[in-house]
Structure 1
């Protein structure tokens, strides 16, 4: 007779498998972020639309977040996450073909589908919470997020060599990183499809482990968590999207841009273990407030940094990534405390839509004003997190 695995052993296996997949999906995610705006500017022959890829990524992410959440609710995390990475792989291949053929229409459609990778990468964090005790949810979330760092940091630094290799096959240099993304997302999906067994969400449902709380407090927690993640996503996407364009306008090459984005993405994920401990020890609300203040600091530094100063841009983008990380872990813990996978997907839909709005408007804002204005406006907007989470803290 085979012994039934304990909840602890299933949780440990689920975390390990999801972390392995996140290493690859992080590389796929970072590749498009680094060169998407530059590829669009090159193919559309205008910098004012360079925020369009980010908007399409996030619109695609929005639809996928809802689909992955609903499929996960019905069939488990493995089914939902595998579908998301399959779509992302298809989108990445489409971007490579579009750039090679010079097809703007195919590029726009493919960028939309490629956005599935962003949603799936984020939805994977909930797989770490399905079997986690409430007092350890912050650390469970952070374990999944930090695994993204390895691929996410490597991705931007591979932009230049992959671009050179792509040209030898007749592929434009800026499309090369999307070929890497296609491979990375495919591997991530295969890892989950083959190894995420038993499914942590289905086990949690079967054994009634760590069910979300109900009642007014739950509703308040969902609002606070959603507001935290929506606002931090909006600010982060707006400033991050325009940084490569700002750097290119002031004579910086792909290598310098890749370095700045690599540090930014590292700051988005690498602090996760510490953030998780802070969320579990001091609570969701204090960490969410700190996220808003950190994003304000990022806006001030990026707005005042001399255009020729790569070190100061690195500091600004590191703060931007850190503020996003604090907001994401705190907000996710609030949602995991109170919401089902379907609601989790709906919240991620709102996050994606806010990022889409930020991505598409950031180019117009910078063209009409300046990178400094965009940065400082984002920092001030991030402070809106505070009243939302303060209300939640009082109710709790």
Structure 2
């Protein structure tokens, strides 16, 4: 097992990983930018190093600075968290080349799944259901229009090397396509330093269902069931739950088994999430694979009792999956997570500022990197906390989450709790009739 791990991230995920490292008896090293110098989770680490000023490109995305911390601290492993460099194959390779184990999939898997069109091709080659889409678009207007016609309108323009909903734009006709491609290309270049985009068939009112997997370095892969992440704003997840409500249970379980078997045949070797789109008719198609710990991993932990961070670390250290996971895992109850953001609750624009009051609820799981008196800066994602409620039934989990969000006290910044409560109280959500456009619909009629 590792003796000391650098946590190359910030906020809630840094706190989450540091907590598990302490429980495992592994030395921990935190990093911080000037903006996070007083972050409360730094107290959880055995050591903490400044890595630069507030802008992410000068701190959390500074590969040389992070490798310097690994060397200076004598760490033998690095956990990337999520976001930032967690899915950067070049970074993972640089970490390994420095003699430090990267706690995540091998760089080849990060590279293979990081480019969306190549990941779709790989999934299709191994028999996964993949919806209609194109290869990377050229700059030729005629070929772009031909690709869209072959797929069939409406289409969605998507960055080939990105995620998080950035640069995803619909086009419902040939007249709308060129402008959508130009804008998506520009956004992809700014967001991911790669202007490549491609097309997918736009499914109206779909559900977003993803499957948690874990592999080891000995050829084994298992799934830990699914999460429904359909409630989104601007293509970004806001509420996630497990198990998925109102689905063909046997069909979803069969798909989960198929995904795990496929990844085992392929040789996948650490944590990952296969994201699928579920059409209104119940058919599934492959969207992408995230080769890292997910923001919403906590709901899976709540229903399975598995510490996914610990499992990820143990797999990276070379342990066998048979020793990491119980032989049989059965989900217990229902878990729902709400992401609390410092943002306007109707327009969803970031709201940086001081946290004059920050009092999270009790009686539920709360993951956060903030404390009262801290400041939400404009330099990073404005997520304040993740509130996770677990109960024997979905109805009870919803009620527990509603009560917890009502108890949360935040002053000094705007926040999205009013929007979350309206969504959780909507008849559609209560019935499990969720889709990716539900939140805007609920807000529009409020």
So what's the TM-score if we normalise by structure 2?
0.24
TM-score, normalization by structure 1: 0.26
Which protein has the larger Cα radius of gyration, Structure 1 or Structure 2? 2
Pick 1 or 2: higher relative contact order, CA cutoff 8 A, min separation 6: 1
Instruction: Point out the structure with the larger strand share.
Output: 2
